[in-house]
Amino acid sequence: MSGHSGNDDPKAPLLAVVVHPPPNSAEPHDAGPAGPATCQSLISCLLTPNSFYILLGPLLCAMICLLVKLQPGDGGGGSSSSSSAAATSRNMLAVLAWMFAWWLTEAVPMPITSMAPLFLFPLFGIAAADDVASSYMDDVIALVLGSFILALAVEHYNIHRRLALNITLLFCGDPLNPPLLLLGICATTAFISMWMHNVAAAVMMMPVATGILQRLPESGPGQSPVVSKFCRAVVLGVIYSAAVGGMSTLTGTGVNLILVGMWKSYFPEADPISFSTWLFFGVPLALVIFLFLWAILCLLYCPKGSGPILSAYLDKAHLKRELTLLGPMAFAEKMVLTVFGMLIALWMTRSITDDIPGWGVLFNDRAGDGTVSVMMATLLFIIPSNKNKGEKLMDWSKCKKLPWNIVLLLGAGFAIADGVRTSGLAEILTKSLDFLEQAPYWAIAPLVSLIGAFITEFTSNNATTTLLVPLLIQIAKTMHVHPLLLMIPGAIGAQFAFLLPTGTPSNIVGFTTGHIEIKDMIKVGIPLKITGIVALSILMPALGTWVFGIHGEI
């Protein structure tokens, strides 16, 4: 990037004017009609796999509209209304095929595909423009925006680095205990990932982890196998701990938010899944998977006798020096931590139990988790930073990295959920899945998790959840079981992207350090994935039914 393009001045124009030098005489811009070479270049640009993938979406949509005939669900009414309902359902199926083709191939950037319902739904007669647009801003999306602004504040003031160094220093041991140090790094990553997006947690923690590893000898032919193995364990621990920690809260990953939003869209009369409710299920599940992760990393990469070898390079003095360089906590850091702590406390106490109502009762349960998230984020723009006159803890220029791609994907998922339900496609899907009515739950739940865990290796976990959850709702209705008994295993299974670097951005963050290879990810990822599926299949009917108040069908 050139020097003048990196201007972070908030007063700078949004669209910078770039002045190009005049074209030289050898390359005139107005030299008449394009020659054969230009035509060939244009054809070669069009005849690419990406161009085919772009056309694939509209082609699938057109084929479904022309060739597929759906039988309307049982809803009464005359023949004209039935045929109209069938046409709307068919159009919804066609739009789904278009969007899923673009999502799976990434022919068009995922955020842009996520905006497609805004024009496809009205044009195909599925929903009015205002109704579709309302799906892109609700309480769940407000929760995302508020929590990400707080996460950006934590990152801006280096609070995550201070926390990581303190906890790692605590776990380092004297003399050095490699499994204990690994536990400290992994536990810190998982804890940070609970309160901010797991990708952000991995991005924040990886420099801290690699900073510790920099004390070790450079990788090469002469590097000790013990040192090489410990480096791999740390990097794998960070990326997998970020994923596992994110499962335990609603804010840790977009998948959980998509699940909660779809539950609210499909079953508006049911009790919503609150932050505290999810925590009571997510933390035990994440803890089981996390302990297995630590155990397998120690087993594979921390052999006996590694402590004395590593202690020659890693000691508490290095960590203390890193911590000293950060200096004492400033007023701004303390205030950001205070606001973050208040947010967690408000999330936890808004709705406690049926017998012990939370503070939400004071507002007739009109306030949601998103209400609190945005309110506390707003405080960051009001409280002074105590650094420069008039400067606040946060300003809008610090919010440039807000994850609008996740916001748009969430909105698309909610719009699809509403479209499938209101178009009548949900009823048709339910009728087509009658053969599953007699299938036992204990056989379907692990299969659902396995399908989600498989698909997510090849596409984003958010997209996998958006594709899978609506289908699982219909399967649950056919089997006459509570929808959450399938929705939750499917959604959490979509977070088990442990095998390939491209499975999730967190994996890419670890892979680019150069310390791990694909075989390392497969060696740890396969048993970790199996453990996750088994733990999920056991905990969902055992603990989940109590936490989510599941009693029969909904």
In angstroms, the CA 353 to CA 549 distance is 11
Cβ-Cβ contacts under 8 Å for 465 (sequence gap 6 or more): 255, 258, 259, 413, 452, 490, 491, 494
CB 262 within 8 A of CB 227: no
Give me the sign of the Cα torsion angle 504, 510, 513, 514.
negative
Nearest Cα to Cα of residue 54 among 94, 125, 120, 113: 113
HEC letters along 22-37: CCCCCCCCCCCCCCHH
CA distances from 177 to 126, 181, 230, 233, 305 (A): 61, 6, 12, 14, 10
Task: Please name the amino acid found at residue 503.
Answer: G
- Identify the pLDDT of residue 103: 81
- Counting Cα atoms < 13 Å in the Cβ hemisphere of 45 gives 6
Virtual torsion, Cα 37, 38, 42, 44, nearest 10 deg? 20
Q: Rounded CA gap, 280 and 273, in Å?
A: 11
Write the pLDDT tens digit of every residue in 69-101.
877 655 445 556 667 778 888 999 999 899 888
On the 0-12 / 13-18 / 19+ scale of CB atoms within 10 A, 140 is buried
For residue 346, what pLDDT is reported? 86
pLDDT digits (tens, 9 = 90+) for 8-20: 444 444 334 344 4
Q: Which pLDDT value is given to residue 147? A: 79
- Residues of the chain whose pLDDT is less than 50? 1-32, 75-76
Overall pTM > 0.85: no
DSSP 392: B
Q: Is 212:261 a contact under the CB 8 Å cutoff? A: no
pLDDT of residue 18: 42
pLDDT of residue 10: 43
> Is 266 within 8 Å of 330 (Cβ atoms)?
no
